[in-house]
Amino acid sequence: MKTQSPSLFQPELVREALKQSFVKLDPRLMVKNPVMFTVELGTAVMLIVSVMVLVTPGAERTQGSAGYNVGIFLLLFATLLFANFAEAIAEARGKAQADSLRKTRQDTPAKVRRKDGSFDVVSSAQLQRGDVFVVEAGEIIPTDGEIIEGLATIDESAITGESAPVIREAGGDKSSVTGGTKVLSDRIVVLVTTAPGESFLDKMIALVEGASRQKTPNEIALTILLAGFTLVFLIVCVTLVPFANYAKATLTVAALVSLFVCLIPTTIGGLLSAIGIAGMDRALRANVITKSGKAVETAGDIDVLLLDKTGTITIGNRRATHFWPAPGVAEAAFVEAATLASLTDDTPEGKSIVELAAQAADGSRLRQRIEGAQLIRFTAETRSSGVDLLPAHGGLRLRKGATDAIRRLVEQAGNPFPTEMQQRVEAVASNGGTPLVVSQNEQVLGVVELQDIIKPGIQERFERLRKMGVKTVMVTGDNPLTARFIAEKAGVDDFIAEAKPEDKMHYIRQEQQAGKLVAMMGDGTNDAPALAQADVGVAMNSGTQAAKEAGNMVDLDNDPTKLIEVVEIGKQLLITRGTLTTFSIANDVAKYFAIVPALFVASIPALQGLNIMQLHSPESAILSAVIFNALIIPALIPLALRGVQYTPVGASQLLRRNLLVYGLGGVVVPFVGIKLIDLLVSVFV
């Protein structure tokens, strides 16, 4: 799947959209859009009137000429088709992407490992949740799952569009694999995490086709508002009949229907669905899969953005750069203890400690010492890891972790935390590094310094968010000194230091209770509760299945900064809907000045003063207004699909620009357009 956007009106898409424009005329489909459904009813009335004028002698004296009535009918019919075309072309773009994804999904053989160790080759369609299969170099991964054994280089270009291979491995937060991707090297054992028909590709296809698209709350509210406008103008048009009888004016059915159709917000009514579909489409082209349109829309209203420090604000490859032994501890002994505590640590930090110590310690000898040892895995709760060696190998209890975690461990054993080491911790942290304290038998041996680099350009992106009114919060497991240094250097508004999973949840709930909308990104199982609690939760495709199920968006690129782009896409969706609604309602002013004088000027000459456009005749005025009303919909389709250009400015400035460009423009453009159309129509009327 490619992220670049193809031409809006590709010939094959246009042909499909034109066909669907007629299919969507089905009243059972049209009734879902109250505004356009009433236009369809008006079109049906004009069809009946046109036939009546054609077959009934003398009907032209009261209802106008046959050509005039047929012309109004055809224009209203064209208005319906244009509105349906806007939605159909948006859907056709999604269906084209779905067809591309279907080519990726294929029936792939899978080598399923049974409990007795034997293997069965079955079709990928037969795989069930809980099955275990093996994939080797050159083979296609048959379905979604999590690696439980091994490490492999994987080509995910069929899903992400990125040609560079990625590494996926058992354990940690990079264990998830997607069906349809290809293993380039090594061998992995994968646990199936999805049921048949519920794989990531299946969900993507359903989403991009629009099959699972539901109207968002704002879209529903706007639909109700537009339906209210429609009802009001229906009452207005109906009450004009007794007024006309009182004024001895003749109102034709064509004139009344035309006035009604032109006054109701047909422009936004015809484009509303297309705007929503296009919003999800823009997110998909940014390689973000949204589980609902609501997620994209909510992203536009986000007040608080939670971002992990590592990989988002910093490069993410924290590496050991220096060993600082405690007073009285030989450097060689400290390096050896730090290495022993890190040999089974699969995190990048643990591996970097082993690499840094490689020249100072005998790796093969140390690996023999940890044989049969009890491994203490790192968890977000304990924030430490280590190893308990067997008595034959020294019986040492080695721990490596965050300062507060090791301090608690040491002091609980009744041992002091050396003042010199506390000063070293503070010095490392104040320099932007991350200190890891190493202990042996609950005695502090020293500090390992880790360093990371802030991503270039991240300050400018945070400044853009600040202009949008979005508060940025950095979440990190680092101590407060390190967190403050990085936060100030990166330009974030706030930070959460020494964060545990429950700290994220607490912060999100606290902000939500204050009436704010919160977004966050995560990739691990420990992020799942917070992703589910956040209003917008973006899970990375490489993350665990729990994280992907908890979030309402999935980033195919595994780019932690993508959340910033998602916010901009959401704001663009809201702005596009708002500006086109403003333009549509402003349009009605000019149509009012075109049609109302045409209806009553014969019986009430004083209304000629309202004919400020000096239109040629009542018939040409009505025809011109209806023609403009029909043509403005296809003219705005590119804007609805591409979205209004978004710039990060304050809400008040955005409102002023909206009213000036689309409010004032919505009044002026119809005056000019209707007058020009009238000059052409008057030649034939």
In a domain, 637, yes or no: yes
Q: Say whether 555 is catalytic.
A: no
In angstroms, the CA 517 to CA 355 distance is 43
Please count the structural domains in the chain: 3
Lowest-confidence region among 89-93, 119-123, 214-218: 214-218
Whether residue 262 contacts residue 625, with contact meaning beta carbons closer than 8 Å, is answered with yes
The pLDDT of residue 457 is 80
Is 526 in the same domain as 573?
no
Is 327 in the same domain as 400?
yes
Is 303 in the same domain as 438?
no
Is 248 in the same domain as 342?
no
Whether residue 554 contacts residue 538, with contact meaning beta carbons closer than 8 Å, is answered with yes
- Report helix, strand or coil for 381: coil
Give the pLDDT confidence of 544-564 residue by residue, as tens digits.
777 777 888 888 777 767 777
H-type alpha helices, 105-187: 157-160
Confidence check: pLDDT of 485 > 70: yes
Confidence check: pLDDT of 135 > 80: yes
Q: Which residue in 144, 202, 281, 308 is the catalytic one? A: 308
* CATH code for position 428: 3.40.1110.10
The pLDDT of residue 336 is 87
pTM comes to 0.66
The pLDDT of residue 154 is 87
Give the pLDDT confidence of 171-193 residue by residue, as tens digits.
766 788 888 788 888 889 999 88
Which pLDDT band holds residue 421 (cuts at 50, 70, 90)? very high
In a domain, 495, yes or no: yes
Mean pLDDT of the chain: 82
In a domain, 408, yes or no: yes
Last residue of a domain, one of 556, 589, 623: 556
Q: Which domain holds residue 524?
A: 288-313+455-556
In a domain, 339, yes or no: yes
Is 488 in the same domain as 390?
no
Is 447 in the same domain as 319?
yes
Last residue of a domain, one of 453, 484, 507: 453
Give the pLDDT confidence of 196-225 residue by residue, as tens digits.
777 666 666 665 555 445 566 777 888 888
In angstroms, the CA 573 to CA 282 distance is 9
Phi-psi label, residue 91: left if phi above 0, alpha if psi -120 to 50, beta otherwise: alpha
Binding residues: 345, 349, 378-385, 400, 523, 527
Give the pLDDT confidence of 270-283 residue by residue, as tens digits.
888 888 777 777 88
Token pair recorded at residue 154: 């994987």
Is 342 in the same domain as 331?
yes
* Nearby residues of 61 by Cβ (< 8 Å), 6 or more positions away: none
What average pLDDT does this structure show over 277-298?
77
The pLDDT of residue 248 is 77
* CATH code for position 513: 3.40.50.1000
Confidence check: pLDDT of 445 > 90: yes
In a domain, 668, yes or no: yes
Is 222 in the same domain as 85?
yes
Confidence check: pLDDT of 646 > 90: no
Helix or strand (DSSP H, E) at 657: helix 651-658
Lowest-confidence region among 127-141, 228-242, 268-282: 268-282
555 burial level (CB within 10 Å; 0-12, 13-18, 19+): buried
In a domain, 153, yes or no: no
Confidence check: pLDDT of 476 > 90: no
The pLDDT of residue 4 is 44
Confidence check: pLDDT of 295 > 60: yes
Confidence check: pLDDT of 42 > 90: yes
Last residue of a domain, one of 453, 468, 490: 453
Confidence check: pLDDT of 522 > 90: no
In a domain, 170, yes or no: no
Is 351 in the same domain as 443?
yes
The pLDDT of residue 417 is 92
Helix 217-246 and helix 253-263, axial crossing angle in degrees, nearest 10: 150
Is 411 in the same domain as 423?
yes
Q: Which DSSP symbol is given to 527?
A: G
Is 463 in the same domain as 537?
yes
Is 337 in the same domain as 475?
no
What average pLDDT does this structure show over 425-443?
88
Q: Looking at per-residue confidence, does 318 or 416 come out higher?
A: 416
Binding residues for ATP: 345, 349, 378-385, 400
Binding residues for Mg(2+): 523, 527
